[in-house]
């Protein structure tokens, strides 16, 4: 078992946090079934850059039009999120400068968790550009219980099959 420092070192090396859902749903969609039989690295995921920096949340110069919740509902399965240390000990998300808009990371991650609890057969990738401390990043993940829904891939290991990721949570 990796300790906290090792776990986030692995996370930052590949900059990927893979979040999978809690349980498998039945589906008759053949293309969906085909995807679930593929390894994670054999599937393309629609990903948004600076996903948190959006018009719906009131950012001044947004990269995205829609909130993370709306992006996920519209098929996005990869989120690139910039994180920084907050002065109160809670990680923040913003792009470049907080003066153009910011949000607590825990609020952004709660949107992801809420989506996964409703859509239990989904896999979402979060790529953190962590310009803060691993302590605040881990605190945000742990504080809402998202850590129980995560998988960390270590460089050099074989990627799992999507169905295995879904079933394991």
Q: What is the pLDDT of residue 24?
A: 42
Handedness of CA 142, 7, 134, 73 (dihedral sign): negative
User: Global pTM?
Assistant: 0.80
Handedness of CA 36, 38, 41, 47 (dihedral sign): negative
* Cα 22 to the center of its chain, rounded Å: 15
How would DSSP label each residue in 73-127? Answer: HTT--EEEEEEE--TTSS-EE-SS-GGG--EEHHHHHHHHHHHHHH-TT-EEEEE
The 10s digit of each residue's pLDDT in 84-97 is 999 999 999 999 99
Taking CA atoms, 38 is separated from 86, 114, 133, 150, in Å, by 39, 25, 34, 19
Taking CA atoms, 81 is separated from 3, 126, 165, in Å, by 24, 7, 22
Q: What is the pLDDT of residue 12?
A: 40
Three-class HEC string of 140-156? HHHHCCHHHHEECCCCC
Question: Which has more confidence, 48 or 164?
Answer: 48
Q: What is the mean pLDDT of residues 20-32?
A: 49
Distance CA 42, CA 140 (A): 30
The answer, yes or no, to whether residue 79 has pLDDT greater than 70, is yes
Residue 80 — pLDDT band, cuts 50, 70, 90? very high
The answer, yes or no, to whether residue 27 has pLDDT greater than 50, is no
Q: What is the pLDDT of residue 3?
A: 55
Q: What is the pLDDT of residue 108?
A: 97
Distance CA 119, CA 76 (A): 13
């Amino acid at each position: 078992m990796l300790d906290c420092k090792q776990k986030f070192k692995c996370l930052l090396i590949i900059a990927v946090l893979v979040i999978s859902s809690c349980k498998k749903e039945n589906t008759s969609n053949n293309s969906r079934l085909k995807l679930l039989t593929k390894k994670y690295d054999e599937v393309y995921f629609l990903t948004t850059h600076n996903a948190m920096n959006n018009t719906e949340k009131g950012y001044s110069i947004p990269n995205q039009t829609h909130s993370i919740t709306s992006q996920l509902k519209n098929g996005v399965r990869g989120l690139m999120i910039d994180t920084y240390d907050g002065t109160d000990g809670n990680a923040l998300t913003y792009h470049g400068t907080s003066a153009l808009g910011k949000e607590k990371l825990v609020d952004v991650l709660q949107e992801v968790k809420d989506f996964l609890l409703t859509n239990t057969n989904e896999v979402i990738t979060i790529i953190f550009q962590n310009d803060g401390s691993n302590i605040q990043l881990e605190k945000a993940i742990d504080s809402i219980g998202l850590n129980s829904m995560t998988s960390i891939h270590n460089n050099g290991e074989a990627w799992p099959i999507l169905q295995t990721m879904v079933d394991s949570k």
